[in-house]
Every structure is written in C-alpha cells, then in structure tokens.
Amino acid sequence: VLSGCGVYDGTEIHEASAILVHLSRGGAKVQMYAPDVPQMHVIDHSKGQPAEAESRNVLVESARIARGKIASLAKLTTADHDAVIFPGGFGAAKNLSTFAVDGKDCKVNREVERVLKDFHKAGKPIGLCCISPVLAAKVLSGAEVTVGHEEEEGGKWPYAGTAGAIKELGGKHCVKESVFSLTHFYEAHVDTKNKVVTTPAFMCETELHHIFDGIGAMVKNVLKLTGK
C-alpha cells in the first residue's frame, strides 16, 4: 500500500523498492494499491519546503513507483491476498493518516483502517516499516511494533519520539536495531499474536544496505507468517 511518491510527502521510494525486491526474491506475487485522495501537501524535495499552490493525487503519484500497475485502495480485499505491507515515508503520516499533524490524536484514512482491520480479523500478516507502524498502533489496540530506539542517541535515531507516541496510541513499542551490532543483526519485530511485523528502516541514520537488510527481515517474516 503506497502513499504517494517521495519521502517528504509520500512513500519512501528506497523502502518501497527494497520491499518489492525482497518479495520478488521470496517468490511472492504483488499488487500495489493507494488511496484515491489528494495529498496533504506537496513538498519540493530539492528544497525540503512545501510547493505552494500545487496539489497532487496520492494514487496518481504512487503509480510512478508501481510503474502504472496500481489500483485504488478501495479495491483491496483480504480474499485476494495473503498479506499486506505498508512502506514508510511521510505519506504514511500525512496521506494515510493525520499523524504528522495530530500525533496521538490522529485519524487514519478510512480505507487504510478497513484494510488493517480486515487483515487482522482474517489472521493474515501485516508488514510495516519506518513511520508506518503508527498506523497499526492506532488501529489495532495493543499491537507490538518497533520504530527502532526510544532515545535519539546523538542524532542516530532522529525520530525516536515516535516510540512515545506509539505508546500513547495504545500500541506497545519494542526496541530494535536496524544495523549490525555485537548482539543484533538486521532486525524486525514479530508480534506473533497479531501477525504484525515491523522494522525501523529510515527511522535510523545508517547505511542504505542496513536498511535494505532490515526490510528483508520484515518481508521474510511476513511471508513466513502466511504459511505458504
């Protein structure tokens, strides 16, 4: 499920690409979706500032990543799929929800909420990375997720405050690494009860290949939970 095209106002493109590569390697067939709604706003990524008087559609922008092969999120059903995965990027907090503006008081897009609840009810796995775990924390009360660490640690985890927001949303935050250490490898957290799998990805300031491998751990566990 995509949320536009570009980290600051849509889907984080590197995350989406990594997910697709790992799904392909795992033998999965993929269909991409996005809500057919206007973006919250448009960011000029060369300046990191809003592009005034410009508007874009989330589905139309997401089609760039999907190479045109995309459908409205309203058409996504559990009957047709074994799992669902949400990449990160600010679009998850701006277009799939209002988390970027409202924090713990955010609202989730109606179709996104439906999809999360439907897959959860059907016992089918849900994968999320970077900022998108806030969606599960808001919609699936008590879900265990990770966005990495709970302290900034000198800028290594610049979005560490999100962990506190997840707790306020009703979720349980679990500390995980996104890089190699003496005791941790590229980690994903698996909430076996709710079949929710999350990984920090770009919540951490680290090398791209570490993020790629962390996403791989998430995808691998999502596929494993399908039982296929």
8 in any annotated domain: no
5 in any annotated domain: no
Domain count of the fold of the chain: 1
Q: How buried is 78 (Cβ within 10 angstroms: 0-12 exposed, 13-18 middle, 19+ buried)?
A: middle
CATH code of the domain covering residue 207: 3.40.50.880
Domain that includes residue 214, residue range: 13-226
Element (H, E) at 22: helix 13-25
Position 180 confidence tier, pLDDT thresholds 50, 70, 90: very low
Give the pTM.
Answer: 0.95
165 in any annotated domain: yes
DSSP 209: H
User: Which tens digits make up the pLDDT trace of 148-171?
Assistant: 999 998 999 999 999 999 999 999
% of the chain surpassing 70 pLDDT = 96
CA distances 174 to 3, 21, 82, 162, 217, Å, are 25, 26, 25, 12, 16
- Answer yes or no: is pLDDT of 183 > 50: no
Strand 196-199 relative to strand 189-191: parallel, antiparallel, unpaired?
Answer: antiparallel
Question: Which residues 6+ apart lie within 8 Å of 6 measured at CB?
Answer: 13, 43, 45, 61, 89, 91
CA-to-CA distance for 99 and 138, rounded, in angstroms? 10
52 in any annotated domain: yes
2 in any annotated domain: no
pLDDT at 5: 98
User: Which tens digits make up the pLDDT trace of 14-56?
Assistant: 999 999 999 999 999 999 999 999 999 999 999 999 999 999 9
CA-to-CA distance for 37 and 56, rounded, in angstroms? 9
The torsion of the CA quartet 219, 220, 224, 228, rounded to 10 degrees, works out to: 80
- Cβ of 159: how many Cβ atoms within 10 Å? 18
7 in any annotated domain: no
101 in any annotated domain: yes
Question: Which residues are part of the catalytic machinery?
Answer: 130
187 in any annotated domain: yes
